[in-house]
A and B are shown apart, each in its own frame.
Chain A
Amino acid sequence: MKWATMQQSGYAWLRALAYAGIGLVVGIGLGLYLGWVAWPAEFTNANPSVLQTNHRRDYVLMIADAYAVDGDVAAAQQRVASLGEDGQEFLMATLLDMILRGEQEGDTRRLARLADDLGLYSPAMEPYLTPPEPAS
């Protein structure tokens, strides 16, 4: 009879733990949803390295434009570095992409100048490093 009592009491606790477990699982799920999706941390503290590709590309072009205006290679280098560890690779990829697509020559020239002054090289850059021929 004592055994039966203990067994009944044990079942009651197991049931309670099961309820608590269900609550725990639902709570964890809810917590992760809120923490990762609804109210994620670091939402407004972004830097250029996490920009969307199109915005990142635009940012590189602006760095090249600023360099064309002020000629400050150290500042330009720092800005390219702010794009992340692959900043220089991204700059070159953007430049080659622009060359292959034949995009705005002015933009391409400024970007090529920046790449060259940062010590980056590609044979495709060369036509854009020489001054444009005056129209006859």
Chain B
Amino acid sequence: MRRRRQRALWPRNRHTDDAATSSGRVSAAGWVLLGLVLGLAAGLWYAWMVEPVVFVEVSPARFNERYQAEYIFLVSQSYAANGNWPQTEQRLAALDDSAIGQTVANLLERYVREQEPAAVIRNLAMVARQLGVETQAVALFAPTPLHGNTATPTAILTVLPTPTPMPTASPTLTAIATVSPTPTPLPTSIPTAVVSPTAQPNYRLLSQERLCLTDAPAPRIEIVTQDALLNPLPGVEVLVSWNGGADRFFTGFKPAEGPSYGDFTMSQDVSYTVALAEGSEAVSGLRIEPCDNGLDGGWRLTFQNLRLRITATPEGEE
């Protein structure tokens, strides 16, 4: 009887031992692996979701897109303020961007499209030019110095009360290939620019002429901007307003007509007022008027900058 019971128990014991052996030896690696996977998941969940790393000692290279753009804007403004190119280069290098020229060029294009203030665009274009960027926007807003001087921003301005026109030949600027469409006074485009009167305008109206063309498709207001020495001055923002609307554009986007030329198509029975954003007298009452040839005529306005630009010595190079 005892023997039989022992026999009956033996297979059960052997089976239990097999199970224990199986769970203890064969599955050991499996158990470790299971724990590892669960632990890894728990660790990542805690590290990414519950207590993520907050970096407190980063360089501008870690900025998100918005702050990178802001950083480049500040670098350009700072360069305009102090003219220190080595410092500007060092700051841009902190972005750790191997294609920094392209990044600046893209931002410049964005500023032009978003119609940022002309001074902001110019300062950024200056940096782009220093980086060797050669685009339409750079050619317009930061043309190469005419006298072979190294490029430094204009820091000191001297007012010329009565600039005297000098009939010297103007140096030609780089020709630009593309032509932008003529801005038309559509009621849908309502810009926010407001002409603000300034005590000392930066520009004066040099001439105002009737424009009678036989080949022009529509009467227009033509604007030409010149510097104090009557050289072409591209990239000047022009504000056009009329009853119930306003628009603005920059000179220089029609290189075929000249590097400092811009125009605006007029509509019948509308009286326009034109001024330059940087400060000029407002020329009002510009309407389409019939010419002697019977065709409708427009206007050609030439503005002259009253400030002579003198290149400043960069602070960092003193």
Measured CB to CB, the residues of A under 8 A from B are 1, 5, 8-9, 11-13, 15-17, 19-36, 40-48, 50-53, 55, 58-59, 61-63, 65-66, 68-70, 79, 82, 104, 106-107, 110
Main secondary structure of the interface of B (DSSP, over half): helix
User: Which B residues lie within 8 Å of A59 (CB)?
Assistant: 60, 71, 74
Question: Is A70 in contact with B77, judged by CB distance below 8 angstroms?
Answer: yes
User: What are 13 A-to-B residue pairs whose CB atoms are below 8 Å?
Assistant: A5-B12, A11-B20, A12-B19, A12-B20, A16-B31, A26-B36, A28-B42, A41-B53, A46-B58, A50-B58, A55-B58, A66-B74, A69-B119
User: Which A residues lie within 8 Å of B212 (CB)?
Assistant: none
Question: Does chain A have a CB within 8 A of B188?
Answer: no
Query: Which of B32, B38, B43 is close to A29, meaning CB atoms less than 8 Å apart?
Result: B43
A20 to chain B, nearest CB (A): 4
User: Which B residues lie within 8 Å of A66 (CB)?
Assistant: 73-74, 77-78, 81
Question: Is A41 in contact with B35, judged by CB distance below 8 angstroms?
Answer: no
* Interchain CA distance A19-B27 in the complex, whole Å: 9
| A-B residue pair count with CB separations less than 8 angstroms | 198
* Interface 1/0 per residue, B25-67 and A, CB below 8 Å: 0011001111111111111111110001111111110111001
B302 to chain A, nearest CB (A): 28
Question: Does chain A have a CB within 8 A of B128?
Answer: no
Question: Nearest 6 A-B pairs (CB), nearest first?
Answer: A31-B43, A27-B39, A35-B47, A23-B35, A66-B77, A65-B78
Question: Does chain A have a CB within 8 A of B183?
Answer: no
Report if A32-B67 is in contact (Cβ < 8 Å); known contacts: A50-B58, A55-B60. Answer: no
Question: Does chain A have a CB within 8 A of B86?
Answer: no
Question: Is B119 in contact with A44, judged by CB distance below 8 angstroms?
Answer: no
Question: Is A106 in contact with B82, judged by CB distance below 8 angstroms?
Answer: yes
Question: Is A34 in contact with B23, judged by CB distance below 8 angstroms?
Answer: no
Question: Is B28 in contact with A19, judged by CB distance below 8 angstroms?
Answer: yes
Question: Is A46 in contact with B64, judged by CB distance below 8 angstroms?
Answer: yes
B250 to chain A, nearest CB (A): 18
Given contacts A12-B19, A62-B75, A79-B70, 6 further A-B contacts (CB under 8 A): A15-B24, A27-B37, A28-B46, A61-B78, A66-B81, A82-B70
Question: Is B74 in contact with A28, judged by CB distance below 8 angstroms?
Answer: no
Report if A32-B120 is in contact (Cβ < 8 Å); known contacts: A5-B16, A19-B35, A58-B91. Answer: no
Question: Is B32 in contact with A19, judged by CB distance below 8 angstroms?
Answer: yes
Query: Which of B24, B44, B91 is close to A16, meaning CB atoms less than 8 Å apart?
Result: B24
* Interchain CA distance A8-B149 in the complex, whole Å: 92
